[in-house]
Amino acid sequence: MAGDPADLFRLDGKVAIVTGASSGLGVAAATALARAGADVVLGARRAEPLADAARAVEALGRRALAVATDVTDPNACEHLAVTAKEELGRVDILLNNAGVATAVPAIRETPEEFSRVVDVNLTGCFQMATAAARQMEHGGSIVNVSSVIALTTAGLPQAAYSASKAALLGLTRDLAQQWSGRKGIRVNSICPGFFPTEMTDQYLPGYLEGMQERRVLMGRAGKPEEFAATVVFLAGDGAGYITGATIVVDGGVTIT
C-alpha cells in the first residue's frame, strides 16, 4: 500500500545548504526547509545576519551551521560544502540562492560591473553546485534560483542580471543531464517574480506597485512562504521525477 503522500514533502534526516541565507528569500527558504525536517547549513557574506538566520533555524528544533561564504571564491564554496559534510554528516540539498542585481543602462555598464553580476549569479552557482555534488553520496537535489527576468523584461536596464539569470537555466539543464542518472542528483530551477527583498527595496517609489497593476495577473507581490514552499517541494521526494525543469513562481508575469 502506498504511504501517506504528505510524507513526500518531509525532509527528515536531510541536510540542506542554502546560500544567500542572511536575508529575505534565503531566510524564508532556510526556515521552511527546517520546518520540513532538514538540518540547514547557511552561507552568505554578512556574518551577523547569517548568525541570526541560523538561530531562527535552531528555534525550530533543527541543527544549523552558519558559514561565511563568498560564492565568487571557489575555495569558499568548497569549504562550505565540506564543512556541511564534516559537521552534519551528509549533504542532500543545495539551494543556490545567492545573487546580485544591477540596473545600469548597457551603454554605461562597465565590463567590470557586468562581470561582477555574472560571477555571483552564474559562476557562483556553478561553483557551489559542483562543490555540493562532490559531497552528495546518496543522490540529492540542487535548486537554482533564477528569475522571471530570465524569461521576460521588467522595464529596467538589466543586461547583466537578465543574461546571468537566463544562463542559469541552461546550466540547470546541463547539470541535470550530467548528474540525474549517473549520480542521482536532480537539478532544477525556480524563476521567482516580484517578491519583497533587499533588491526590490532599491527600486524607485511606485515601481513595484505599477508592475503589480500592469503585469502581475494576481495583482500582488509574492509572499516569501510561497517561494519557500516551492523550494521544499523541489528539494524532497514529492519532486522525485522532476529534473532539468524550471518552475515559474510569478503570479502570471511571464504570460502578460
Q: What is the 3-state secondary structure (H, E, C) of 15-74?
A: EEEEECCCCHHHHHHHHHHHHCCCEEEEEECCHHHHHHHHHHHHCCCCCEEEEECCCCCH
User: Buried b / exposed e across 43-80, counting CB within 10 Å, b at 16+?
Assistant: bbbeeebbeebbebbeebebbbbbbbbbbbeeebbbbb
pLDDT of residue 95: 98
**Which residues are paired to 17 by β-bridges?**
41, 94
Does position 151 have pLDDT exceeding 80, yes or no? Answer: yes
C-beta of residue 27 within 8 angstroms of C-beta of residue 50: no
**Residue 75: per-residue pLDDT:** 98
**pLDDT tier for residue 199 given thresholds of 50, 70 and 90:** low
Average pLDDT over residues 235-240: 96
Mean pLDDT score, 43-58? 95
Backbone angles phi and psi of 46, in degrees to 5 = -90, 115
CA dihedral for 127, 131, 137, 141, sign (positive or negative): negative
Q: Are 114 and 160 within 8 A, CB to CB?
A: yes
Which residues are annotated as catalytic?
Answer: 161
**Domains of the chain, residue spans:** 5-245
Task: Please count the other Cβ atoms lying within 10 Å of the Cβ belonging to residue 160.
Answer: 24
Task: Read off the pLDDT of each residue in 97-102 and give the average, rounded to a whole number.
Answer: 92
Q: What is the CATH number of domain 5-245?
A: 3.40.50.720
Element (H, E) at 88: helix 74-88
- Local confidence band at 1 (pLDDT 50, 70, 90 cut-offs): very low
Model pTM score: 0.94
Per-residue pLDDT reduced to its tens digit, 60-96: 999 999 999 999 999 999 999 999 999 999 999 999 9
With a pLDDT cut of 70, the percent of the chain lying above it is 94
CA angle 77, 80, 85 (to 5 degrees): 130
pLDDT higher at 138 or 37: 37
How large is the average pLDDT for residues 159-169? Answer: 97
